[in-house]
Amino acid sequence: MVKNIDWNKMGLLEGKVAIVTGAGSNMGEAAAELFVSEGAKVIVADHHVERGTAVAARIGALFVQVDVSKSAEVDSLVQIAIDKFAKLDIMFNNAGIARLCPVTDVGDEEYQAIMGVNVGGVFFGTRAAGRIMRQQGFGTIINTASTNAILGVPGMALYSASKAAVVSFTKTVAVELAPFGVRVNAICPGAIPSPIIMADMGVTTEDLADFDKKLPMGRAGKPQEVARGALYLASDQSSYVTGHALVIDGGLTAAGLPPV
């Protein structure tokens, strides 16, 4: 039975414990900050110590360094949450990497890196959190996919495949964990530029300006706009939502445009 709650008197995540991976920048940082502002105790998890430490200090969260492509480190991350807070309400598997490269030029190491972070990180995070949440009888898992999972984008075959895997994985796990009170959803952001992503993909400010003009809303998205979608899925306001891939793209996929 869903309780009647006066959300005006408390934060949407009041008393909840959340882990956000890739929280040292962009969408992960915005989500971690928003979760804290809504009352959650947040663990900022990131591979980059300097960025992650700075974000955690700024928003009043705990920083844990983690390489999400390594299962032992992800297991340890989840255990830290349990040891410190005795529960885990929200697992936001957000960490990801992207490269712009023709499929015929992709090397083995690059393949392992992208699949290891984008698919492995989601799997390891979901497995570790799912074990705890199943035992608890509650919890919500959010996985960051992409509009690349929906659209064909030249030069991004590997990245797109990894994000399509995230969507399929999310739907299947949602069905598996639903009987145990655990919800699992994905978000599919569109064009959400950041200096890090632009550098990784070789996208210039001029490229973005030209692309923005083609979008139905006439602009790229902001990390905070994606964070609000994640907040909805993390909160009890989405109590009957599971197995969903929430597109947050300003009309990009509706217009059939590539993400970059």
| 258 within some domain | no
Cβ-based burial of 145 (10 A; exposed 0-12, middle 13-18, buried ≥19):
buried
| 3 within some domain | no
pLDDT at 2: 46
Distance between CA atoms of 259 and 236, rounded to whole angstroms? 30
Q: Give 141's strand partners.
A: 91, 184
Distance between CA atoms of 248 and 233, rounded to whole angstroms? 13
Q: Express each pLDDT in 24-50 by its tens digit.
A: 999 999 999 999 999 999 999 999 999
Q: Which amino acid is at 231?
A: L
| 7 within some domain | no
- Nearest residue to 155 (alpha-carbon basis) of 189, 200, 194: 200
- 21: three-class secondary structure by DSSP: strand
| 244 within some domain | yes
| 35 within some domain | yes
pLDDT at 219: 86
Number of domains in the chain: 1
Of 111, 159, 232, 240, the active-site residue reads 159
Distance between CA atoms of 231 and 31, rounded to whole angstroms? 7
> What's the CA angle centered on 181, arms 71 and 235, to 5 degrees?
85
Which pTM does this prediction carry? 0.92
Tokens at residue 116, please? Answer: 């290891």
Tell me the pLDDT band of 1, cut-offs 50, 70 and 90.
Answer: very low
| 225 within some domain | yes
> How far is residue 33 from each of residues 42, 58, 112, 136, 143, measured CA to CA in Å?
9, 9, 31, 26, 18
Least confident of 94-108, 135-149, 169-183: 94-108
| 257 within some domain | no
- 159 carries an active-site annotation: yes
Q: Express each pLDDT in 196-244 by its tens digit.
A: 666 666 677 777 777 777 888 988 899 999 999 999 999 999 999 999 9
Tokens at residue 114, please? Answer: 């992208």
| 212 within some domain | yes
pLDDT at 260: 54
- Nearest residue to 167 (alpha-carbon basis) of 142, 137, 198, 190: 142
| CA-based max dimension of the chain | 55
* Structural domain that includes position 75: 13-248
Q: What is the CATH number of the domain that holds 133?
A: 3.40.50.720
Residues 64-79, mean pLDDT to the nearest whole number? 98
Tokens at residue 71, please? Answer: 């299962």
Tokens at residue 255, please? Answer: 């217009």
- 151: three-class secondary structure by DSSP: coil
